[in-house]
Amino acid sequence: MSILTDYSGDERVVVGETSLPNASGEIDRLSPSVRPDERVAGYQEWSNLLFAHWRVPVELLRPLIPRELEIDTFDGEAWLGLVPFHMTGVRPAWCPALPFVSEFHETNIRTYVHFKGRDPGVWFISLDAACRIALEVARWKWHLNYYHSEMELVRDGNNVRYCSRRVDGRSPRRAEVDISATIGEALNPQPGVSVEPGTLEHFLAERYVLYADDHRGRLLRGRVHHSPYPLRSAEIVSCRQTLASAAEVPVSGQPDHALFCEGVKVDIFPLRRVTL
């Protein structure tokens, strides 16, 4: 059993056990969507999300993932996601939203992991944001690999285009994105109900756990909560990107799978240290 503790280093404060595999040994992918019974750390709203994914060999991702985590697969295949979207209302729980800080575009490169057969979540290989102040806070507070980028998001009905160009001096490699998609039909069986568990769409989108590394050998886990993603199908019209190769995952060509989401309101919960 792993114990989650406040990320103050005080391991005497137990804040809850992680979800366990079910009786068949399969990973429990539903419990993480239940709202955590703890204080909220912050609020955000995500909108115009594009989930573009490539199949990638597990061995390509393994060097980028902490050894304590296992790469999560669907039918034996690992996936790399490129997810551009818009953020609004970004704020800690104790502070109102602020002009020029609480609203910006973001793009992340991510894959999927679990901890010893439980708590399936997201590992962010890189994240780009168009707000320098927000990303500096995220680097410090959330131990995430953020970079500063210039970004543009244009939505015209069911057509959407995302452009991003990294301008961060921390990045020695070119990292750009220009991806366009046509948005299709709704996939949820009804409003407020997630897409069917066990499907690839549920595997790729319905993630409520994130993992991070504080660079001192300590694995951290965070939770988010929101209503199920109102997903729509999407068709990639064009895709030119060097963001994945800059993150040391050399994928190219059109993504193998794409989804779109209008948006969700999100509660963010504190990072916790995972003791092994």
Answer for the pair 41, 263: CB distance below 8 angstroms, yes or no.
Answer: no
pLDDT the model gives residue 12: 25
pLDDT tens digit sequence for 236-252 = 999 999 999 999 998 98
Point out the residues of the chain with pLDDT beneath 50. Answer: 1-18, 20, 22-24
Those residues with Cβ within 8 angstroms of residue 217's Cβ, 6 or more apart along the chain or in another chain: none
Are 229 and 205 a contacting pair, CB within 8 Å? Answer: yes
Which 3 state secondary structure label does DSSP give 144?
A: coil
User: In one letter, which amino acid is 167?
Assistant: V
| pLDDT for the residue numbered 170 | 82
Where are the alpha helices (H) located in the chain, listed in sequence order?
Answer: 58-61, 132-142, 200-205, 243-246
Helix (H) or strand (E) holding 233: strand 231-241
CA-CA distance, 200 to 197, in Å (whole number)? 8
pLDDT for the residue 15:
32
Burial of 10 (0-12, 13-18, 19+ CB in 10 A): exposed
Predicted pLDDT of residue 2: 31
Predicted confidence (pLDDT) per residue in 29-62, tens digit: 999 999 999 999 999 999 999 999 999 999 999 9
DSSP state of 234: E
Give the pLDDT of residue 214.
Answer: 86
Q: State the amino acid at position 252 in one-letter form.
A: S
| Per-residue pLDDT at 106 | 97
- Token pair recorded at residue 50: 């594009």
**Domains of the chain and CATH, by start:** 43-275 (2.40.400.10)
Alpha helices (runs of H) in 160-205, residue ranges in sequence order: 200-205
pLDDT at residue 17, rounded to an integer: 39
